[in-house]
Chains A and B, each alone.
Chain A
Amino acid sequence: MSDPLTRRPFAAAYAAAPDPAAAATAAPGVRSIPGTGAAHRHVLVAVVNNRPGVLNRVASLIRARNFNIDSLAVGHTERPDVSRMTITLHGDDVAVEQVAKQLYKLIDVLKVQDVTSEPRIEHELALIKVRATNSTRAEVLKIVELYKGRVVDVAADSVILEATGTEDEVDALVALLGGFGIREMVRTGATVMVRGPQVVEYEGVAK
């Protein structure tokens, strides 16, 4: 439509035919309730204005709408006026679409894209403080090497390891290190970028 007020990304979403799979799950004589289908892990990218309070708006909406998210990572982009969030969550396609649509209602949200089915790089960073005595340190370091992690701090009876990778890779590393005693851990949550030349596009942002 040539209407200057039309938001293009969304109009496109509604060109899609109803999901026949969703219709098929409803037993005859029973109306299916949205959001009750099989849950999968989804990864959403939200491009937002880099303004005070925007993270609060997103977090508040997610809480108020009772959406269960697994992780949310925020950071700057190539443009100083724009930030980018990566949100991972579990839900059926309808429930996740509902999250995206609610996010879109925030004036400061410029673009929301579900990249779950895209080929992508999806990494998070973890800092892990592991107990490491003289007798165990060598073994810990070997595991870290295997996972392409780094030792970033060494103390008498512990080390801090830095690892990046997919959620599964970090999970696996954490599981292996568990036996040595993890004293402290922090993970950033996933950040994501679609492979190849494709980018998450959004309309121009003022200011």
Chain B
Amino acid sequence: MTIMRQAPGRHLPGAGTPEAAAVDHARAEMLHEAKPRGRTRIGADVVCEALLRQGVDVIFGYPGGVILPLYDVLGDYPQLRHILVRHEQGAAHAADGYARASGKVGVCLGTSGPAATNLVTGIANAMLDSVPMVAITGNVVAALLGRDAFQEVDITGITLPITKHNYLVRNADDLPHVFAEAFHIARTGRPGPVHIDITKDALQQETRATHPDEAAVLAAIPGFRPTFEGHARQLRLAAKLIDEAARPVILAGHGILLASAWGELRAFAERTQIPVTHTLLGVGAIDETHPLSYGYMGMHGWKHVNRAIQSADLLIALGMRFDDRVTGKVSTYATGAKIIHVDIDPAEIGKNVSVDVPIVGDVGRVLAALIPLVAERRPEDRAAYFAELAEWRRESEARSWHGSGAWRDGLLSADYVVEQIGAATNHDATLVADVGQNQMWVARYAGYRRPNSHISSGGLGTMGFALPAAMGAAIGRPDKETWAICGDGGFQMTMQQLATLVQDQIPVKIAILDNHKLGMIRQWQELFYAGNYHSSHLLGPDYLKLAEAYGIPAFRATTPDEVPTVIEAARAVDGPALIHFLIAEEQNIMPIMPAGKGLSDLIEEWGGADE
């Protein structure tokens, strides 16, 4: 076999063409980084200007090769605080937590390749929970795109199905428009993440391009016109159903919080005297001490809430999407109820359940328009209905709330710990849950009074969410105490961010509910896999020593009476603090609706144990 030797200088396909020359030039550029930056305005400046114009005050990011031109100018924009995370997934979760706590668009930043793929989980999390976010990544020089250059991945191809929209920018002149569009899209209508991938040369090019005004942005995206006002006829149909209903129930979802519509929700519920139930992400939509607040629905919801839904004659769904965790088996879901479904995303209506009166619009504006159309009721008008609901509530709370503090193995009962954190913080702190049993305890037992005081990874169910999201939440709402409440499994997924807390002095209080188990997995194995406990037992480090290694004050509680003491000790720390709670190893989160079953098939007790 003969080996063909290529003539020198012919390694480049298409040698001699202008494209080949551009590729050659780009490769040379990659090897010679340090070019002194002149005083001219480059693409990276445009990025910073655009962020400032959008009111951004913090970016969660991590540097790398192709994004360095942006880091090179970041110092010139001191109003943009940069938080150096320890893993890009955490940057995206932090931007997510920031957005949920503050109501503003969160921003995260990473370089190409592995950094961009690290962001993916956090972007998907924001997509499924409709969180406004702009994710920025660098990419290789435009001429190298598609050539498998160092750290090149087709990241816009990857983020396409997990973003509301995405952009690949190869030209600095396009940056002002793209950023203005991206923020508009991220926050308008049903919020969501928008991803902007920028080639390195676009960051480096000089440009005089100016930033567009709102009108120019709208003109550039005629395909994006969410509907805000409910249709008048639909509103009248809804009002008629509401006036006629004897057993109406409100289902409040994340949309109430995203639309800042808690005031309208409360006014509507009070006028009509309709009980308000909420989804996982709807926690905080209504003050849980309000007489009309009835509680948390769904797979791990309260039995009385699911019962009320199943026996309702009218469901008024507000900014929620009838997720399978909420409905269970659809064919048996609230079969006696008519459904009014209000959502800003037309595609959510009729997607999972058939509805009777769809209303597309901003839930706050729809409720405001509906209030004058519905008859005013007094609590006495619903006396029999309310009495029955109250009785159901008493029954189910008595069964699934123990409050004694210790579980049957003598270790801490998780619901008690969560309840104590809620009480100690006056139900005003921002509590960020991780995923698993802890998430359900946090949703059920802390007691919420303030909108956006509960943050949870709902749609994606991302373990490792709590700590990085709490970093963002603490920065987004610095006036509120912020807690990350995690299982030992989820904490170990993203605990590298402890260093971020220290370096940037972010005062997150961490509560690890340590059952030495992947608790939710163990529970499913116990209930649905005949106790075959494969891979759900979990070791962890000595969490106090771990915290100490980072210089974070840490505490431990193993008995009920220690719980309030350690919570107060952690709260007294000026800065981050960690508490290791040794909770029961085999406590289940009850009730639970088995997969594939309906809301009426809730399991409340298992093997006679007081779960």
Contact = CB atoms under 8 A, between A and B. Distances in A.
Interface stretch (A4-12, A68-76, A146-154, A174-182): A4-12
Interface stretch (B35-43, B252-260, B356-364): B356-364
Most buried by B among A18, A48, A49, A53: A18
Contacts of B352: 34
A106 interface: yes
Contact of B225 (A6, A13, A57): A6
A31 B334 contact: yes
A5 B335 contact: no
B347 interface: yes
A26 B356 CA distance: 13
A11 B350 contact: no
Contact of B354 (A34, A102, A204): A34
B220 A206 contact: yes
A6 B223 contact: no
Contact of A15 (B218, B226, B231, B350): B231
A11 B227 contact: yes
A22 interface: yes
A58 B164 CA distance: 13
A6 B222 contact: no
A117 interface: no
B398 interface: no
B165 interface: yes
Q: Is the interface of A mostly helix, strand, loop or mixed?
A: loop
A207 B345 contact: no
Contact of A32 (B160, B237, B354, B359): B354
Interface residues of B, number: 47
A113 B168 CA distance: 29
A21 to B, nearest CB: 12
Contacts of A61: 161
Interface stretch (B9-17, B103-111, B325-333): B325-333
Interface in B355-405: 355-360
A53 B354 CA distance: 34
B7 interface: no
Most buried by B among A11, A31, A97, A98: A31
A101 interface: yes
B160 A57 contact: yes
B229 A31 contact: no
B543 interface: no
B565 interface: no
Contacts of B4: none
A7 to B, nearest CB: 3
B80 interface: no
B333 A31 contact: yes
Nearest to B160: A60
Nearest to A207: B220
B226 A5 contact: yes
A104 interface: yes
Nearest to B348: A101
A31 B225 contact: no
B219 interface: yes
A17 B220 CA distance: 33
A55 to B, nearest CB: 12
A107 B224 contact: yes
Closest CB pairs A-B (n = 5): A7-B225, A101-B347, A1-B229, A203-B222, A206-B220
25 contacts: A5-B218, A5-B226, A5-B228, A6-B229, A8-B225, A10-B346, A11-B360, A14-B234, A17-B237, A18-B355, A22-B354, A23-B354, A23-B356, A31-B332, A31-B333, A33-B331, A34-B350, A49-B223, A56-B157, A57-B160, A94-B350, A98-B347, A101-B346, A104-B223, A105-B164
